[in-house]
Amino acid sequence: MTWFTGVVVYVLVWWTVLFAVLPLWTKPVVSPQQAEHFPGAPDRPLLWRKIVVTTVVSALVWSVIWLVVESGVISFRDPA
């Protein structure tokens, strides 16, 4: 895997993991004093925590992908 392919795979994995992590730790707004928020918007989104968790999980997933590709179990090269 070249460095460019590694970066592209990491970015794709990061965004996929982000969408899996976004619903975690959310509580909907229930008080009428906060009516300016949309009804589905979380009270405290905790985005920095979600970004850190996404980055760590993405690094682990990317490492597994890199190990599988570099070991030769999955090859994207022409067998000829």
- What DSSP line would sit under the chain, residue for residue? --HHHHHHHHHHHHHHHHHHHTTTT--B---GGGTTS-TTSBS---HHHHHHHHHHHHHHHHHHHHHHHHHTSS--S---
Cross-strand pairs, 42: 28
Residue that has been written with the tokens 């619903």 in this structure: 23
Question: Does a structural domain hold residue 64?
Answer: yes
Question: Does a structural domain hold residue 42?
Answer: no
Give pLDDT, residue 77. Answer: 73
Give pLDDT, residue 65. Answer: 94
pLDDT (tens, 9 = 90+) of the chain, 80 residues, equals 889 999 999 999 999 999 999 988 887 666 666 556 566 667 778 899 999 999 999 999 999 999 998 888 877 777 65
Domain encompassing residue 59: 47-71
Question: Does a structural domain hold residue 59?
Answer: yes
Question: Does a structural domain hold residue 58?
Answer: yes
| Overall number of domains in the chain | 1
Question: Does a structural domain hold residue 34?
Answer: no
Give pLDDT, residue 49. Answer: 95
Which pTM was predicted? 0.77
Nearest residue to 7 via CA among 57, 62, 55: 62
